[in-house]
Structure 1
């Protein structure tokens, strides 16, 4: 028997929508990363972009447990400047940029390098319940 390799251009790509309202941040990010990576398909190949597109809505209503609203800190370095460390709690970050906690969580679950950056383009995150991808008929994903 021969192994069948599917070309990236021949791969059928679907669209999925995940409603993050009231769901734990890590579970939403893990499910999104798995779908974008293509691990739920029989044609999964670790070195190719074989996954589907994911639309995450209600990113501003994602839940964290254990008091992480005040305890979880996101660090950012502005290189080349003195005192370059910037720190934001989960509360402050979700007020200012409601998509960033999910974006950073999914990014951390994808591979580092070129493939991870390309896969991150297939994740669309929106703070509210509306999204402009209704024409693709995304399927709802339950967590």
Structure 2
């Protein structure tokens, strides 16, 4: 059998949409990170950037289990003395749910040069966009297995 060396010409564009209502944060992010890396494809290599676009909508309805909403802390700093700031999950979620998802997706991705390029293929929306995508034929709707 002949070995195929993958090139960008073999990879096709794919678009996946995910409705985030009722799903837990960690489980949703593991699925998003696997999709962005291209691990669902038959032709997977970690050196190429797959052309998979992911649209996640209804971000405001993501769940988190237990007391994490009060106990989980996010730290921010400008690298100046005395400038370390911390916010709880609830405070940051009310301010911007995008930051929580982007930060957690960054932590799930592999630590290499492609990490920041993967984020360009993820689109996060807090509104319901299901009515917009109904007429498109090339968009795959993902129904996740567990909530």
Structure 1: unaligned runs, 5 residues or longer: none
- TM normalised by structure 2 equals 0.87
Shift of 1:84: 2.2
User: How do 1:38-77 residues align onto structure 2 when only pairs under 5 Å count?
Assistant: 38-77=38-77
CA RMSD of aligned residues (A): 1.8
Shift of 1:98: 1.6
The match for 1:113 is 112
- Does the CA contact (< 8 Å) of 1:75 and 1:85 recur in 2? yes
Shift of 1:129: 1.2
The match for 2:13 is 13
The match for 2:128 is 129
Residue 78 (structure 2) pairs with residue 85 (structure 1): no
C-alpha separation in 1, matches of 2:63 and 2:51: 26
Aligned residue pairs total 141
The match for 1:96 is 95
- TM normalised by structure 1 equals 0.89
C-alpha separation in 1, matches of 2:71 and 2:53: 32
Structure 1 runs of 4+ aligned residues shifted over 3 Å read 133-137
